[in-house]
Structure 1
Amino acid sequence: MNQPNYQENFKETLVTYTLEMEGKIYIIENVPARVCLETGERLFNPETVERLQQILWQKEPPSHYIQTPVYQFSA
């Protein structure tokens, strides 16, 4: 059986990581990641994941706050 000739194309870049935890939204800017140029999939190395967990679990003080609107989706 022939497999498709598909080559993943990733780029090292900085991304914004968002997470909802205990009813709060957390945003971490400038996170290093490998991003697939075709799908947008983001891959993080183990050290980056550990640092993200450390920032969130130890509740480090944020560099700044933002205010954002929230909308309800209704059909």
Structure 2
Amino acid sequence: MTHEQEMLVEKKVTYTLELNGQVFMIENVPARVNEETGEQFFSPSTVEHLQQIILSGQQPDHFTEVPVYNYAA
């Protein structure tokens, strides 16, 4: 096992994606997370499932309010 692989820990994360001006959040996504950098890695099957969820048009489990700021303000 390399040093890089030792830092990866299996966790459930929230995946966020902006698509066509809409923001999508998917909770409890399995990922391998680099403990040092916070970088998240997803298996190909997880990525495929994320795409299916977002593109399916299914009803979300719930909605949340997100504050939006303008950087140039």
After TM superposition, is the score higher than 0.5? yes
Specify the alignment match of 2:55 in structure 1: 57
Unaligned runs of 5+ in 1: 1-5
Unaligned runs of 5+ in 2: none
State the identity %: 51
Q: Note the C-alpha offset of 1:69.
A: 1.7
Q: Note the C-alpha offset of 1:30.
A: 0.4
- TM-score with structure 2 setting the length: 0.88
Q: Note the C-alpha offset of 1:7.
A: 1.1
Q: Note the C-alpha offset of 1:12.
A: 0.1
Q: Note the C-alpha offset of 1:74.
A: 2.2
- TM-score with structure 1 setting the length: 0.86
Cα distance in 2 between the residues matched to 1:26 and 1:65: 10
Q: Which has the higher helix share?
A: 2
Asked if 1:43 is matched to 2:41, the reply is: yes
Cα distance in 2 between the residues matched to 1:57 and 1:43: 21
**How many residues of Structure 1 are paired with residues of Structure 2 in the alignment?**
70
Q: What is the CA RMSD across the aligned residues, in angstroms?
A: 1.4
Give structure 1 regions of 4+ aligned residues with deviation exceeding 3 angstroms. none
- When Rg is computed on C-alpha atoms for both structures, the one with the higher figure is 1
Cα distance in 2 between the residues matched to 1:63 and 1:72: 28
